[in-house]
Chain A
Amino acid sequence: MLQEKGPMQAKEALEKYFLDNRARMLEIASFLDRIDRYSGSPEAKEDFRYKSLMKALKIILESEDERTKKVQLFFSDLSSAPLEKVTDQKAYGAWKESSNEGD
């Protein structure tokens, strides 16, 4: 049987990936600051993608395990009926309906 679980120790993973993820945190912080700073900020913050992103941050903080899967599911269309007709080929990365659910 081949070793799959990952040969690293958690502390080694912390060493290897800390700076990358510190930089990603700063990217998120400055992205949110940018939306605050530009005109039209209140409307942008009403957009379902903004609301979804803020909720995803909460999910990350409040989960004890499987954070990636939980965020993925939160961003997903959870309905099951086919779309009647394609009017917009684009995907947005978040699902309108879950962004409107209360916390």
Chain B
Amino acid sequence: MKVIDPHIHMASRTTDDYMALALGGIHTITEPSFWAGFDRRSADGFHDYFHHISVVEHARAARFGIKHYCWIGLNSKESENLQLAEDVLKIIPEYLDKPTALGLGEIGLNKNSRNELNVLERQLSIAAERGEMILIHTPHLEDKLKGTRMIMEMILNEPRLQPSRVLIDHAEEHTIGEIKDKGFWFGLTLYPNSKGSPERAVDAVEIFGSERICINSSADWSVSDPLATLKCANEMRRRGHTEDLINKIFYENPKAFLSQSPKFEAA
């Protein structure tokens, strides 16, 4: 089977993980910019990071026959520092121009603060001016519902942005309905012991249908699993879902969303 993982942080993963992806049929991946596990001290750290995900990881993936794309943006955790944010916003366009960069992401909210909202609004206007696609990070746990609503409102208030070119990630049972009703794509993230499980992700497919849904591993430097998408596909199979439906969820859907960028081509 062929799988596209639209959200995976390969800069934090080993070469063995690339081999496992290749053997598992995950031959196309996209890597959003995110928090490194610590706050970077200056925009120089972001220069290096954006270079890493737009050039270095692309080449590392290619050695395994994997197509690697990236998303450029300032994550919400580091948006609380407005001076740093200002400096990082200036270098974002340069990296959006890379042939591997699909748009702005993952941008969004973490604690739903005024500074985070301010920086998100600035990044949304960069996306609007340039006609870029967007990958949204929604807050975790108790902050998710409120943050998801704030983000959607902000995007819908910008007439130059179309919900069909935005994927709202880390959706869960209490946010999927609202996201889908407003015309956005949504992502479900599989975490090994916290938050989403393969069982609940497949429940969501059964409850909300197979339109505009993507499932990802979000594998990063913390407890996570780069093969989570395959395990979830297997859970669908175990329940008796057809190979056609499994292929739609794990390949055709992410391909349809990502192909809205002229730079994207699925393996």
Contact = CB atoms under 8 A, between A and B. Distances in A.
A91 to B, nearest CB: 4
Contacts of A91: 111, 139-143
B110 interface: yes
Interface in B190-241: 199-200, 203, 205-206, 209-210, 238-241
9 contacts: A2-B210, A3-B241, A4-B209, A8-B240, A72-B173, A72-B174, A77-B142, A79-B146, A85-B113
Nearest to A6: B206
A103 to B, nearest CB: 20
Given A16-B238, A69-B174, A84-B114, 19 more contacts: A2-B244, A2-B248, A4-B245, A7-B239, A8-B240, A68-B173, A68-B200, A72-B173, A77-B112, A77-B146, A79-B146, A82-B113, A83-B112, A83-B114, A84-B113, A86-B110, A88-B111, A89-B111, A93-B142
B142 A75 contact: yes
A73 interface: yes
B16 to A, nearest CB: 29
Contacts of B144: 76
Contact count band on A: 20 to 34
A95 B199 CA distance: 25
The SS class assigned to the B binding surface is helix
Nearest to B114: A82
Interface of A: 2-8, 16-17, 68-69, 72-73, 75-80, 82-86, 88-89, 91-95
A95 to B, nearest CB: 5
A71 to B, nearest CB: 9
Nearest to B174: A72
Nearest to A2: B245
Interface of B: 77, 80, 110-117, 139-146, 149-150, 172-174, 199-200, 203, 205-206, 209-210, 238-242, 244-245, 248
Nearest to A66: B173
Nearest to B240: A7
B113 A83 contact: yes
A7 B240 CA distance: 6
B240 A92 contact: no
Nearest to B204: A68
A22 B159 CA distance: 50
Contact of A89 (B77, B149, B244, B245): B77
Most interface-central of A73, A88, A91, A95 (chain B CB within 10 A): A91
B141 A92 contact: yes
Nearest to A73: B174
A72 B173 CA distance: 7
A80 B113 contact: no
B233 to A, nearest CB: 14
Contacts of A80: 146, 149-150
